[in-house]
Amino acid sequence: MLTQDHGVSGNPTVTPVSGERNGALPSRGVANDADSHGPLQTQTAGGVPESNVDVLIIGAGPAGLMAASWMAHCGIKTRIVDKRNSKIFTGQADGLQCRSLEIFDSLGFADRVWKEANHMIEVRKGRILNPGSDGLIRRSDRIPDTIVGLSRFQQVVLHQGRIERFFLDNIKKYSKDAIQVERGVLPASLKIDESKVDNDDGYPVRVELRHLSEEESTPKQQVNASKVQDGLYRSNLTQEDDEADLINKSKSRAGDSEIVHAKYVLGCDGARSWTRRELGFELEGDSTDHIWGVMDVVPITDFPDIRMRCAIHSAESGSLMVIPRENKLVRMYIQLKEVAPDASGRADRSKITPDLIFGAAKKIIQPYKLDYEYCDWWTAYQIGQRVGTDFHSHNRVFLAGDAVHTHSPKAGQGMNISMQDTFNLGWKVALVAKGIAKRSILSTYASERRQVAQELIEFDHRFSRLFSGRPAKDVMDAEGVSMEVFKAAFEKGNIFASGLSVDYAASNLVVKNGSNESLAKGLPVGMRFNSFKVLNQADGRPWHFQERLKADGRFRVVLFAGNILSPQQKERVNKFCSELNGPEGFLRKATPRGVPIDSVIEILTIHSSKRTETELLRDFPEVLHPFDEHSGWDYNKVFVDDESYHEGFGDAYRNYGVDKERGCVVAVRPDQYVGWIGELEEFSGLEKYFEGCLEL
């Protein structure tokens, strides 16, 4: 029996293990592990410092920060650079899908978003506004903005600067300051040594980085009378970006260059991605000649629905989309019919001013009055729907976010899909870098996310055309967009826009043919693990089950143990557990020696007997609640589908479509997607799943 100092300056040798893991994943058989995160610098003959790093992330927007967050949670030696010297403070993307909130929750900061954001409750299909025959705005029926029952979260709106702040705090917390965004750092060249790309221990990607001066890395604002911060420098109406110029300038200064050798490089550097251009890849797809203005204002208006999400379709003046935001702000997407593209297909940005944009909005919303005193941010854009020709090079350099798909911002998808790209990619790179997962899983990034990008631009294409189109005058008006068509498209888009319709195709991470999907009809293989409330067996506390699927890089086996009090079922559970616990089973083989048995794959149990008639230590095999010599039994792994005192009944078995007597077994990826489903007897199928993706 030891007692330990745990005071202010104490140095405890036995740390109390928190319910939440915040340690890094273990690693196996890989040189240069992440115990020290700082780059080990050496000097070349020419005096340029060189260093090795597991992962280099280019771009610290939401996609880059999501990737860095995974690396922090998994303990991967990582650097993240951005050419700009400050993060975003206003404007930019702001709509957040249900799925993004679920992801934030798995990282640990959904609560901060939920608290600050404006919640989108009503609209989407409803509250569509259309001119009646009298030319006045008619208001149609309403529906919820988020389909009821789809997720425990609803869509919200919060500006990108806050999201980036939460990411930075999260990265700091989990990496203990080892990963910090390096701002004012610009990549100057990238080379892949193809002889090393199949070598697990190699650093095949060589990147030259240049450190910019304060002045160089500050974005230029359009000079105009209003002095409102504008977003034109990031808008696609900027004809040329300034990388070449910046590189030339920084070259004139000595000692500001360095060489980084990386195992993996993640290009999260936006629609004009330097990484993409350096690899020689392109974006392909349609262009559009619709030009839109965007303004964040505190409106002064008698329009009754200003705090609802509204789509206003005027007869002749174009369309307006109203997105109420946090504080008293409202974002407006405003069609600019008066600004025509020039011969090159581009609009002249110098003509676009807040007055011009707001003037258009005032016209559209007539006969209601619309004015403002305070404008927080504004921009304009003219964007087509395009997807990258390639998502990676040798599965060593990856492109994510706007670097591989562009589309209009109106549907509020951009930031979500971009973050979800690297939420898909990050853990794969981390687990491969750690030697835990097979390198072959990396190719699922391109296949899975290209599919989503394709769906995104199709959605956006339909959505944008509907919005920019003239409303139909009557049913015989073939060129106009009828209210019915508009509403139907909205409705269909609603599920896509939640981010919950993603269904990844079969791969070594998603076993569809080898799964018995009828055992859990509410958990389709390839889709994210839906969430219902269950109770902790040991203390009765209700949890949304998804809260137990944290983004810590671990795979999970969810054992629906069924009616554990039935002797036959108990026998089945015992047999499954003894296989699981076998010295040659995948669980022990996947776990490096000397680390806890739940470090790579965590087993979570949900049973369906009454909580009060069961007992953790008596009724559940040890492998389901492992014993640790320092801290005793694990009380956070066995759950029950039973009624709570204060938060109702999740009815999880029924909602997951699992038989209450017999249960089933589900393999879950670190990003919460369902990978495999089978009977308790199908242990070999489960083993095969992990053999397919992990180094056993």
Would you call 603 helix, strand, or coil by DSSP? strand
Catalytic (active site) residue 635: no
Query: Which span (243-251, 485-493, 507-515, 612-620) binds its own copies, by CB under 8 A?
Result: 612-620
d(Cα 174, Cα 34) in Å, to the nearest integer?
13
Q: Tell me which of 82, 94, 376, 598 is the catalytic residue.
A: 94
Pick between residue 593 and residue 646 the one whose CB is nearest to its own copies.
646
Pick the closest to residue 143 from 489, 462, 502, 490 (CA basis): 490
β-bridge partners, 189: 208
Distances (CA, A) of 583 to 7, 288, 589, 667: 40, 61, 8, 20
Q: How far is the CB of 142 from its own copies (least distance, A)?
A: 7
Please give the helix or strand (H or E) that residue 206 lies within, else none: strand 205-211
Pick the closest to residue 60 from 158, 187, 156 (CA basis): 187
Q: Tell me which of 79, 276, 325, 449 is the catalytic residue.
A: 325
d(Cα 234, Cα 658) in Å, to the nearest integer?
48
Does 10 contact its own copies by CB under 8 A? Answer: yes
Pick between residue 18 and residue 195 the one whose CB is nearest to its own copies.
18
Q: Looking at 326, 338, 491, 651, which residue binds its own copies (CB under 8 A)?
A: 326
Q: Looking at 375, 511, 606, 680, which residue binds its own copies (CB under 8 A)?
A: 375
Pull the structure tokens for residue 14.
Answer: 């036995």
Pick between residue 224 and residue 451 the one whose CB is nearest to its own copies.
224
d(Cα 289, Cα 279) in Å, to the nearest integer?
29
Q: Looking at 169, 302, 348, 571, which residue binds its own copies (CB under 8 A)?
A: 302
Q: State the pairing for strand pair 638-640/601-607.
A: parallel
Q: Looking at 176, 251, 253, 328, which residue binds its own copies (CB under 8 A)?
A: 328
Catalytic (active site) residue 592: no
Tell me how many degrees the CA angle 668-674-680 measures, rounded to the nearest 5: 70
Contact letters (x/-) for its own copies, 562-601, by CB under 8 A? ----------------------------------------
Would you call 310 helix, strand, or coil by DSSP? strand
Does 90 contact its own copies by CB under 8 A? Answer: yes
Does 117 contact its own copies by CB under 8 A? Answer: no
Residues 241-300 that bind its own copies (CB under 8 A): 298-300
Q: Looking at 27, 97, 146, 546, which residue binds its own copies (CB under 8 A)?
A: 146
Query: Which span (268-276, 365-373, 443-451, 578-586) binds its own copies, by CB under 8 A?
Result: 365-373
Q: Looking at 617, 622, 681, 684, which residue binds its own copies (CB under 8 A)?
A: 617
Pull the structure tokens for residue 162.
Answer: 């806050």
Q: Looking at 41, 327, 568, 578, which residue binds its own copies (CB under 8 A)?
A: 327
Does 215 contact its own copies by CB under 8 A? Answer: no
Q: Within its chain, how far is the Cα of 244 from the centroid?
A: 31
Q: How far is the CB of 229 from its own copies (least distance, A)?
A: 4
Pick between residue 18 and residue 43 the one whose CB is nearest to its own copies.
18
Q: How far is the CB of 635 from its own copies (least distance, A)?
A: 5
For residues 57 and 81, the answer to whether their CB atoms sit within 8 Å is yes
Q: How far is the CB of 366 from its own copies (least distance, A)?
A: 17
Question: What is the distance between the terminal CA atoms of the chain, rounded to a whole angstrom?
Answer: 36
Pick the closest to residue 407 from 392, 431, 387 (CA basis): 387
Sign for the pseudo-dihedral over CA of 332, 100, 484, 307 = negative
Counting residues that bind its own copies (by CB under 8 A) gives 78
Catalytic (active site) residue 325: yes
d(Cα 582, Cα 572) in Å, to the nearest integer?
15
For residues 208 and 187, the answer to whether their CB atoms sit within 8 Å is yes
Pick between residue 204 and residue 299 the one whose CB is nearest to its own copies.
299
Neighbours of 622 (CB within 10 A): 12
Q: Looking at 172, 307, 346, 470, which residue binds its own copies (CB under 8 A)?
A: 307
Pick between residue 477 and residue 647 the one whose CB is nearest to its own copies.
647
Does 622 contact its own copies by CB under 8 A? Answer: no
Q: How far is the CB of 181 from its own copies (least distance, A)?
A: 16
Q: Looking at 615, 622, 661, 681, which residue binds its own copies (CB under 8 A)?
A: 615
Catalytic (active site) residue 618: no
Does 41 contact its own copies by CB under 8 A? Answer: no
Neighbours of 20 (CB within 10 A): 9
For residues 180 and 69, the answer to whether their CB atoms sit within 8 Å is no
Residue with tokens 């919303």: 365
Could you give the residue numbers annotated as active site? 94, 325, 333, 409
